[in-house]
Chains A and B, each alone.
Chain A
Amino acid sequence: DQQVKQNSPSLSVQEGRISILNCDYTNSMFDYFLWYKKYPAEGPTFLISISSIKDKNEDGRFTVFLNKSAKHLSLHIVPSQPGDSAVYFCAATGSSNTGKLIFGQGTTLQVKP
C-alpha cells in the first residue's frame, strides 16, 4: 500500500514558467512533509519542508502548499530554471520520533531552455 503517491512520473516545463509537482498521502498520522531533489548518481538533497500546522511554506523560488483535508501537497517552482531539472521526491513522516521517511515514487522534472 503506497502511503505517499506522486502520480505524475514526469513533467516538462519551459524555462521561466511555473513548475507544479503534486503529492498525495493516505496516512492521517503524517505531520511533517518534505521535498527532496535528486540528480543522477547523487544522493537526494533536502529542498523544503512543511509542518502540518501550516498550509504554506516559502523559500525563494520554492513554495510548498499543504491541504490537510485533501491529504495533498504541492511544490511550486517559480520561475523554473534548467538547473531545476532533476527527480523530485515527496516524503512524509509522523511524530513517532524515529526519523523514518516514507517516500513517493518521484517525479522527473525537465525544464527546457
Chain B
Amino acid sequence: NAGVTQTPKFQVLKTGQSMTLQCAQDMNHEYMSWYRQDPGMGLRLIHYSVGAGITDQGEVPNGYNVSRSTTEDFPLRLLSAAPSQTSVYFCASSYSPTGARNTIYFGEGSWLTVV
C-alpha cells in the first residue's frame, strides 16, 4: 500500500471511551477518506476531505469526527465508543477523483473492538 500509514493497527476500547485513529500519507494527495468494513457490507464511507481545512460526511458519519489541518494527516476521532463501532477501519488517499489518475490508495487497516 503506497504511502498511506494508519495507526494503531489493533485497539480494544471500552464503551464510552474516546480515541483517535491516525492516518498519514506522503504522496501529497489532496483527497483523503475513512471507510469502515463490516461483514457483508463492503466498505462504507465515514468522512472524506478534498483538501486541508475541508471535510464532509460520507454514508455513516454518526459517532465520528474528523479534521484536516494538513495535507498529510487525516485523523478519525471516536467521540464515545459504542459496540456498533467494532469494525475494521481503512484510511484512503487519492491524487484526483477523476480520469486515469482516479486510483485510491488504502492503508493496511485498523482493527477496533469496543467492549
Contacts and interface: CB of A to CB of B under 8 A. Distances in A.
Interface of A: 4, 6, 9, 32, 34, 36, 41-46, 49, 51, 89, 91, 93, 95-106
Contact of A98 (B35, B48, B90, B92): B48
A35 to B, nearest CB: 12
Contacts of A44: 43, 90, 106
Contacts of B45: 100-102
Interface of B: 1, 4, 31-33, 35, 40-45, 48, 50, 56, 58-59, 90, 92, 94, 96-99, 102-109
B48 A89 contact: no
14 contacts: A32-B98, A34-B102, A42-B1, A42-B109, A43-B107, A49-B102, A98-B31, A99-B31, A99-B32, A99-B33, A100-B58, A100-B97, A103-B42, A105-B42
B97 to A, nearest CB: 4
Among A95, A97, A99, chain B packs the most CB atoms within 10 A around the CB of A99
B48 A100 contact: yes
A45 B1 contact: yes
Interface residues of B, dominant DSSP? strand
A44 B2 CA distance: 11
Given A34-B104, A46-B103, A99-B33, 20 more contacts: A42-B109, A43-B4, A43-B90, A44-B106, A51-B99, A89-B42, A91-B43, A97-B98, A98-B50, A99-B31, A99-B50, A99-B94, A99-B97, A99-B102, A100-B48, A101-B43, A101-B92, A103-B35, A105-B41, A106-B42
Among B45, B59, B97, chain A packs the most CB atoms within 10 A around the CB of B97
Nearest to B9: A41
Contacts of B59: 102
Nearest to A89: B42
